[in-house]
Amino acid sequence: MKILGIDTSCDETAAAIVEDGREVISNVVASQIKAHQEYGGVVPELASRKHIEAINYIVNKALKEANVSFSDIDAIAVTNRPGLIGALLVGVAAAKSLAFCHNLPLLGINHIEGHIYANYMVYDTLTFPHICLTVSGGHTLLVEVQEGWKYKVLGTTQDDAAGEVYDKVSKYLGLGFPGGKIIDDLAQKGNPTAIDFPRPMLRSGDYQFSFSGIKTSVRYFVQKAERAEKIANGEITIEDIAASFQAAVVEVLVAKTVHAAKTTNARTITLTGGVAANSHLRSSLTSAAKDIDAEVYYPPINLCTDNGAMIAGIAYEKYQQGLRDELSLNAAANGSIVDV
């Protein structure tokens, strides 16, 4: 069964053709990074307009690269929640029009479920239940994934998402957007113990996260006049700040994820979302998981970041479970995965 998956939830216009949930035949992504770069973050209105410009071209490219036409497609899946409302509406309108014109079943998909499914597309040995940490520009979510793609949400962020603080800290340091990869690269040349940034909620005894305090600490640290001087004369380097900031974020993410695996007896941990590309997060989670005999999986980068393949993938499972949506399908800015 071939599904066309569409995602326009944030700043990537994405479409893919996937067979039977796992075989990615094409996976096309148009990034809007350049358009948002000068603003240091995603501008929602600009994102919607860029999606409108790109959507038809990207869907046709996905079909062309897969060497198929609409007569070969069995269903159309689209992210309809959560995300930037104007951006989501573009994908939903396109998917509904195509489903109507080609008389195909339509499935509205939760974006986070797509991220969670991404590892399963690559590793067919994944066992259930497993613990999944989704970390991206918009989300920080720890869930227990049960057989049949049912989820128990363990914890989420109380304020900023992990990727969001990477992007904001990068902005404070004048390093550019998006900040994740820039900080990750700089951190490899810095001293992670140079500055003792806070580890919010590390010992809260639950699975909730909070990152805005780390972000504010970095901001104050850089703003203090005498430190600004030390930074200017090279006593404290940008690399040290990046490494110390990253150490704080990753320590909290790893501690809570491993604790969740330990208490639920899950021996499999999956990592997904844009921040799952982070080198320190990958290595430190993998080594901490070893202590409890758990194994860590993460997908290749093109399935970590936003893409249409993960949407087509989880849609295949939902289709088997009987999901079909009407042409009245709407987009929603919010959408938790407990209601799926």
Question: Cβ closer to ligand KG4: 151 or 298?
Answer: 298
Question: Cβ closer to Zn ion: 27 or 136?
Answer: 136
Residue 313's binding partner, choosing from ligand KG4, Zn ion, none, with beta-carbon cut-off 5 to 8 A by kind? none
Residue 257's binding partner, choosing from Zn ion, ligand KG4, none, with beta-carbon cut-off 5 to 8 A by kind? none
Question: Cβ closer to ligand KG4: 99 or 111?
Answer: 111
Residue 181's binding partner, choosing from Zn ion, ligand KG4, none, with beta-carbon cut-off 5 to 8 A by kind? ligand KG4
At closest approach, how far in Å is the CB of 163 from ligand KG4? Answer: 3
Residue 184's binding partner, choosing from Zn ion, ligand KG4, none, with beta-carbon cut-off 5 to 8 A by kind? ligand KG4
Question: Cβ closer to ligand KG4: 158 or 264?
Answer: 158
Question: Cβ closer to ligand KG4: 170 or 268?
Answer: 170
How far apart are alpha carbons 141 and 2 in whole angstroms? 29
Question: Cβ closer to ligand KG4: 27 or 278?
Answer: 278
Name the site residues for ligand KG4 (rule: CB under 6 A): 10, 136-138, 163, 166-167, 178-181, 184, 273-275, 277-278, 305-306
At closest approach, how far in Å is the CB of 185 from ligand KG4? Answer: 8
Residue 91's binding partner, choosing from ligand KG4, Zn ion, none, with beta-carbon cut-off 5 to 8 A by kind? none
Name the site residues for Zn ion (rule: CB under 5 A): 136, 306
At closest approach, how far in Å is the CB of 56 from ligand KG4? Answer: 22
Residue 180's binding partner, choosing from ligand KG4, Zn ion, none, with beta-carbon cut-off 5 to 8 A by kind? ligand KG4
If we measure between CA atoms, which residue out of 149, 239, 224, 226 comes closest to residue 188?
Answer: 239
At closest approach, how far in Å is the CB of 322 from ligand KG4? Answer: 28
Residue 240's binding partner, choosing from Zn ion, ligand KG4, none, with beta-carbon cut-off 5 to 8 A by kind? none
When computed from its CA atoms, the radius of gyration of the chain, rounded to whole angstroms, is: 20
Which H, E and C letters describe the chain, residue by residue?
CEEEEEECCCCEEEEEEEECCCEEEEEEEEECHHHHHCCCCCCHHHHHHHHHHHHHHHHHHHHHHHCCCHHHCCEEEEEEECCCHHHHHHHHHHHHHHHHHCCCCEEEEEHHHHHHHHHHHHCCCCCCCEEEEEECCCCEEEEEEECCCEEEEEEEECCCCHHHHHHHHHHHCCCCCCHHHHHHHHHCCCCCCCCCCCCCCCCCCCCCECCHHHHHHHHHHHHCHHHHHHHHCCCCCHHHHHHHHHHHHHHHHHHHHHHHHHHHCCCEEEEECHHHHCHHHHHHHHHHHHCCCCEEECCCHHHHCCCCHHHHHHHHHHHHCCCCECCCCCCCCCCCHHHC
Question: Cβ closer to ligand KG4: 171 or 262?
Answer: 171
At closest approach, how far in Å is the CB of 163 from Zn ion? Answer: 9
**Which amino acid would we find at residue 232?**
A
At closest approach, how far in Å is the CB of 102 from Zn ion? Answer: 27
At closest approach, how far in Å is the CB of 109 from Zn ion? Answer: 12
